[in-house]
Amino acid sequence: MTRTPDEGALVRSATPIVPVPTETGAPKPALDRALPTRSSLRLAAELEAAQRSKATKRPLRGVATAAVMTVTAGLFGTLALPAFASTPGEGDAAATTALTQIRTSEAQDLAVGDVTSADVSRDGYGATSQATLDAAAAAEAKRVADEEAARATAAAEAQRAANAEQFSSYTGPTAKDYAASTTAAAPAPAPAAGAQSSVFATAQQYIGTPYVFGGATPAGFDCSGFVMFVMAQHGVSLPHSVTGQDRLGTPISAAEARPGDVVIFNDGSHNGFYAGNGQILDAPKPGDSVRQRAIWSSAVHYVRF
């Protein structure tokens, strides 16, 4: 609202001055104030509205300023942080030392005793311990060995049965028949050089013949009967006894012995043909049959016929 200079003068001239009494009763000059008019009231309202608007905008401007300062400080801090972090100083060294001390002082030793391996499973999958695998492998190996031993035993029994049936019907010549042209009291002639291998080949033909006490034919042999029957086929007549055969043989050393020579136990209890490599081919005992096996005693000597 625009106000002309004359209005204020008119107002002051139109307003009478009234003296105001004081506390002592003396008249006091009245305030030099004109009575409000409609125009002055409007002007006052506009001024008050303008002041209120300024008061309202000032706090908002202060808040905006504070926010800008806060964001600026944060930006400066962010920019300064990489430089601080990439430049280690005394603080970093102290922190590293403290961390090392903590790791050293808080280190722990863990001792575990009486550990037993066991099978474990997780999420539907199993893990088998090495001990279990080893036990399973050993059990499988034993099963296979037992099956092989059972098959070998069955085969041997079948062979013994076949040999027994074959030799039980033997009707061929006996040792006496082979030695009929020789004199029993005369010493047996020595075989020609290299004849031991031929003797041994003849003896091998009777592997599997069942043991029969007193037997001297392929129907069944005892130890000396086996030696007597084989040697008779090579023109050597021998008595049916271990000691008698020992007396007629020519002693030789173990180093000289060849397959086909005769092994005789020192106590006269047994004999058989030397098979080489420390083994003997003989008729062992009742329930057994002619076979080759290791010589189980050192109390033996060797003779050649």
The structural domain count of the chain equals: 1
Residue 129 forms part of a structural domain: no
pLDDT in tens, the chain (305 residues): 445 444 444 444 444 554 545 444 455 554 445 555 666 677 777 777 777 766 555 555 555 555 556 655 555 555 544 444 444 555 567 667 766 766 666 555 556 566 565 555 555 666 789 999 999 999 999 999 999 889 887 876 776 666 666 666 677 778 877 767 554 444 445 455 468 999 999 999 999 999 999 999 999 999 999 999 999 999 999 999 999 999 999 999 999 999 999 999 999 999 999 999 999 999 999 999 999 999 999 999 999 99
Residue 134 has a pLDDT of: 92
Give the whole-angstrom CA distance, residue 258 versus residue 260.
6
Give the whole-angstrom CA distance, residue 173 versus residue 170.
9
Residue 4 forms part of a structural domain: no
Give Cα 69 to chain centroid, integer Å. Answer: 68
- Those residues whose C-beta lies under 8 Å from the C-beta of residue 159, and which sit 6 or more positions away, are 208
Residue 159 has a pLDDT of: 66
Domain span including residue 265: 175-182+189-304
Residue 73 forms part of a structural domain: no
Residue 247 has a pLDDT of: 95
CB 270 within 8 A of CB 227: no
Residue 95 has a pLDDT of: 67
In residues, how long is the chain?
Answer: 305
Residue 240 forms part of a structural domain: yes
Residue 263 forms part of a structural domain: yes
Q: What is the CATH number of the domain that holds 229?
A: 3.90.1720.10
Residue 83 forms part of a structural domain: no
Residue 69 forms part of a structural domain: no
Residue 203 forms part of a structural domain: yes
- pTM listed for this prediction: 0.46
